[in-house]
């Protein structure tokens, strides 16, 4: 899937940490040497690039570069967006990312798995992409946020899970072992 999905894609990565951008560059260089990766370290640089070019994928840090403001711009420009975070790794930021139209929400500690997540973003539409993300990261979210992390926003998570299950596929392994969804 890597060759087909990421070959010749124009990707923008925005993060205020140069070492994170270097890791993204390294991951993408191995998986798709024909990708065109552009990088920005500030909100202003990112805005300039997003209004000047069209991107097949945008990877946005949440903190340090006004990631949610950039997400709003990227969505208005119809760019598929993955939110990438370490400091804003929270149920609230995950929910906001979904509500604003991001296609993925990735912990920075999973950067070594970036390519498969980006492939999924290109391969699946929004809800199926979120379904895949929760298949892969549901247990991670449960461990990181605690087993009842959806409770404060139970109505949102219940409705979101119902949308994800609307094709008849359940992503809750058993009633006692949730995959990150309410």
DSSP the chain: -HHHHHTT-EEEEE-S-HHHHHHHHHHHHHH-TT-EEEEESSHHHHHHHHHH---SEEEEESTTTTHHHHHHHHHHTT--EEEEESTT-SHHHHHHHHHHT-SEEEEGGGGGGHHHHHHHHHHS-HHHHHHHHHHHHHHHHHHHH-TTTTGGGHHHHHHHHHHHGGGS----SBTTB--S--
Of 119 and 45, the structure prediction assigns the larger pLDDT to: 45
Q: What is the mean pLDDT of residues 159-173?
A: 67
Structure tokens at 145: 């946020």
Residue 80 CB: number of other CB atoms within 10 A? Answer: 21
The predicted pLDDT at position 76 comes to 96
User: What proportion of the chain, given as a percentage, has pLDDT over 70?
Assistant: 89
Q: What is the mean pLDDT of residues 90-94?
A: 94
The predicted pLDDT at position 172 comes to 35
Residues of the chain with CATH 3.40.50.2300: 2-123
- Confidence band, pLDDT 50/70/90 cuts, at residue 88: confident
**Is the separation of the CB atoms in 80 and 122 below 8 Å?**
yes
What is the per-residue pLDDT across 17-68, written as a single tens digit (0 to 9) for each?
999 999 999 999 888 888 999 999 999 999 999 999 999 999 999 998 999 9
The predicted pLDDT at position 4 comes to 60
**Is the separation of the CB atoms in 62 and 93 below 8 Å?**
yes
The predicted pLDDT at position 121 comes to 84
Examine the pLDDT at 174 and tell me if it is beyond 70. Answer: no
Paired residues of 174 in beta bridges? 177
The predicted pLDDT at position 175 comes to 30
pTM score of the predicted model:
0.87
Q: Which residues of 59-77 are buried (b: 16+ CB within 10 A; e: fewer)?
A: bbbbbbbbbbebbebbbee
What is the per-residue pLDDT across 128-155, written as a single tens digit (0 to 9) for each?
889 889 989 999 999 999 989 999 999 9
Poorest-confidence range of 111-115, 119-123, 134-138?
Answer: 119-123
CATH level 3 topology of 2-123: Rossmann fold (3.40.50)
The predicted pLDDT at position 92 comes to 95
Examine the pLDDT at 176 and tell me if it is beyond 60. Answer: no
């Amino acid at each position: 899937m890597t060759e087909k999905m990421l070959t010749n894609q124009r990707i923008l990565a925005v993060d205020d940490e140069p070492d994170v951008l270097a890791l993204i560059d390294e991951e993408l260089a191995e998986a798709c040497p024909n990708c065109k990766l552009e990088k920005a370290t500030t909100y202003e640089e990112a805005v300039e690039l997003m209004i000047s070019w069209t991107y097949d994928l945008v990877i946005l840090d949440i903190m340090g570069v006004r990631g949610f403001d950039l997400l709003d711009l990227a969505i208005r420009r119809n760019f598929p967006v993955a939110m990438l975070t370490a400091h804003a790794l929270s149920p609230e930021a995950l929910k906001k990312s979904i509500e604003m139209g991001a296609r993925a929400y990735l912990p920075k500690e999973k950067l070594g798995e970036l390519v498969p997540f980006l492939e999924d973003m290109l391969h699946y539409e929004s809800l199926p992409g979120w379904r895949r993300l929760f298949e892969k990261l549901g247990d991670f979210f449960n461990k990181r946020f605690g087993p009842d992390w959806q409770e404060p926003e139970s109505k949102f998570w219940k409705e979101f899970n119902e949308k994800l299950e609307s094709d008849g596929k359940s992503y809750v392994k058993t009633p006692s072992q949730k995959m990150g969804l309410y």
